Structure 1
Amino acid sequence: MTLKKVALFCALAFATNAMADVEVKDTNNFNDVAAKVNQLKEAGKNPLIVVDIDNTLLTSTSDIGGDIWYQWQRGKLDVKPKDGDKVDCLFQDSIGMLYELVPMKTIENGVPAMLRGWQDDGLTVMALTSRSPNYRYATEREMMRNQFDMTRTALKEKGSDALPIYIDNPKRPLSYINGIMMTTGMNKGTMLEYILDKTDQSFSDVVFVDDSEKNVVNMKNAYKDDKAV
């Protein structure tokens, strides 16, 4: 099965009353994301970079336990699982166990260096995942093992150099620790608004990268009609 990454670029003009300019681009290569980031940097911008994890930065080394397998189990793909294929206690036990046991690998070999380059340039880079906070240990372990250190230039509270820690339960559990926001499947557009409000931060531009069309649409809808930006 071919993996597809969808990059959503949000240009937010905070100094005007115009609606936010949202550009959406469907891409199979992180170089397209890098080109957009470079374009913004050359224009003197310092965009916030927000990246998904599963099937965007990392993918499972096994057919079992990856994001595509998870979507298949839930009946979200064209190919549906038979009754005998379905795993009992998918959310409570199986997913957590598979995250713990199955290693992950990078989607593209050059992406860890690409993110480090943005961090070296001082750009704020954070991860925004639909995973539950219950799976944080395995998530951070595999991110670090694949050379994604999200603490380097993580989103911080305005005027602070300390890495913030947020643990909350607005509708479902969420946590933001070490530059990784885990949201238990909540709307990512709403979640980005939440974390920017918590940190009292604002950015003229946001680059959001996610393989899920639903997440891209939610992010687009969160900003396209916002007359405050």
Structure 2
Amino acid sequence: MKNLLFLTLSILLPTASLNSTIYETTEIEALVPLIKEELQKEPGPCAIVAVDLDNTTLKAGNPKATDEWFSEKIKEYTAQGLTSDQAVARIMPEHLQAHRTTKVTPVDVDVKPLIDALQHKNVHVIALTARNLDFVNISLRQLHDIKIDLTPKGHTNGAIERWELCYKLGGLPKDAYYIPGIIFASGNDKGMVFEHFLRQLKYRPHLVIFVDDSANNIKAVDQMCKRLGIKKCACFMLTKVKQGISPESGKRFNQKEL
């Protein structure tokens, strides 16, 4: 199947599934046409947009606060004979300290206006991060620094109470948690964590959109949508950071597009 050019510098890579599609893109605005169709439905959108934090929503200035540094250290210590858990235990204090003090910038200057516009249109927007509970205050501070607020806004078609609560998502290798607006996957398979979250809320959206910089996470959420029979699922692998593209580059988001 030929690749289809979609927006500036964006490549769409359709899967074989009729209701699930995986895209590779450098522009977060690539999701706009898909969500726009859902916004036109009555009585309103039944959709959830989930975005990763690191290298998708925000980028840390301190190298020791990046996924790349963390992954390289894991490889280094496991090569020396440590288990993955032992390597994480050795790395985490330095990684956490770097996160507490690092400055962060948005991966794309359009992340905030796009999230604001989706929330204004009554679309659930949450973060789905591999981070664990140690990162709650750090994550809230970092999102605040780039002026993004993911706490429920009082819409959600009468189900706001469930979205305002905190949840422990058990039944996984490691406990994951939902703090209003953010799912902390604690290193678990993001698809399994997302599934536990939706079951906890007893919420079955018609449309799931997921944005992440990891192919493994994209595939995990795509598989979740298939397991749950989600009517439409679109997973976007955002490669802006990987390709070294500046936050200001590419097509600018216009709220009138929604």
TM-score (norm 2): 0.71
Distance 1:88 1:181, change over 3 A: closer
Out of 96-105 and 201-210, give the one that drifted further: 96-105
Q: CA deviation at 1:178?
A: 2.1
> Greater RCO between the two (CA within 8 Å, min separation 6)?
1
CA contact (8 A) 2:204 2:230 kept: no
Find the counterpart in structure 2 of residue 128 from structure 1: 128
TM-score (norm 1): 0.79
Among 12, 32, 35, the residue aligned to 1:34:
32
Letter in 2 for 1:123: V
CA contact (8 A) 1:126 1:154 kept: no
1:143-178 C-alpha deviation (Å, 9 max, x unpaired): 112111010348979744361111344321321112
Asked if residue 199 in structure 1 is aligned to residue 197 in structure 2, the reply is: no
Q: CA deviation at 1:32?
A: 0.7
Secondary structure of residue in 2 paired with 1:64: helix
Q: CA deviation at 1:51?
A: 0.8
Find the counterpart in structure 2 of residue 14 from structure 1: none
Find the counterpart in structure 2 of residue 212 from structure 1: 214
Q: Distance in 2 between matches of 1:228 and 1:87?
A: 34
Asked if residue 101 in structure 1 is aligned to residue 138 in structure 2, the reply is: no
Find the counterpart in structure 1 of residue 19 from structure 2: 21
Letter in 2 for 1:38: K
CA contact (8 A) 1:52 1:127 kept: yes
Find the counterpart in structure 2 of residue 139 from structure 1: 139
User: What is the number of residues matched between the two proteins?
Assistant: 211
RMSD: 3.4
Secondary structure of residue in 2 paired with 1:69: helix
CA contact (8 A) 1:7 1:27 kept: yes
Q: Which runs of 5+ in 2 are unaligned?
A: 1-9, 81-86, 232-258
Q: Distance in 2 between matches of 1:194 and 1:101?
A: 32
Q: CA deviation at 1:130?
A: 0.3
Letter in 2 for 1:97: Q
Find the counterpart in structure 2 of residue 173 from structure 1: 175
1:15-47 C-alpha deviation (Å, 9 max, x unpaired): xxxx87111100011111223222432466432
Report % sequence identity: 19
Letter in 1 for 2:114: M
Q: Distance in 2 between matches of 1:113 and 1:140?
A: 18
Q: CA deviation at 1:184?
A: 0.9
Q: Distance in 1 between matches of 2:156 and 2:40?
A: 24
Distance 1:218 1:111, change over 3 A: same
Q: Distance in 2 between matches of 1:8 and 1:198?
A: 31
Q: Distance in 1 between matches of 2:11 and 2:55?
A: 10
CA contact (8 A) 1:157 1:199 kept: no
Q: Distance in 2 between matches of 1:126 and 1:64?
A: 25
Of Structure 1 and Structure 2, which has the larger fraction of its residues in helix? 2
Q: Distance in 1 between matches of 2:206 and 2:115?
A: 20
Distance 1:102 1:207, change over 3 A: same
CA contact (8 A) 1:20 1:223 kept: no
Letter in 2 for 1:31: E
Q: Distance in 2 between matches of 1:149 and 1:218?
A: 26
Q: Distance in 2 between matches of 1:87 and 1:190?
A: 21
